[in-house]
Amino acid sequence: MKKLLTLLATAIFAVSAHAGDYPDVSVADLKKAIAEKKATVIDVNGTDSYKKEHIPGAIDYTAQKAELAKSLPADKGALVVAYCGGPTCAAYEAAAKAAKDLGYTNVKHLSVGISGWKAAGEKTDAAK
């Protein structure tokens, strides 16, 4: 039992420590940043999902990851937001880490994902 509690505590600490690497951004704040053209948004739901719906202006990470640097702004302090399906999805971390590894310092996470974006009544785009 003691080993189980230790393991559980270690896992919780690791997850919470890692989650702090990419602060959350709200739907309202992201919507405002997009409207002001102050955010680059990365969709990490896969190309098939991206083609069906994505946050307007988002980059398809699956299709762009090999050349992600070309899709991101020159300003390394610019806001970069990664998202996936919803609160239980951790796929966003791949794009967030990739942006951070490229030197971006203002990388955030839309933790509610595309499901939360839609639940808030926000519009999505489909690939053309």
Domain boundaries defined on the chain: 22-119
Reported as a single tens digit per residue, the pLDDT across 70-95 is 999 999 999 999 999 999 999 999 99
Instruction: Report domain 22-119's class.
Output: alpha beta
The percent of the chain in helix, strand and coil, each rounded to the nearest 5, is: 50, 15, 40
- Report the side by side order of strands in the sheet with 79-83: 59-60, 39-43, 79-83, 106-109
Q: Model-level pTM? A: 0.84
pLDDT of residue 36 exceeding 60, the answer is: yes
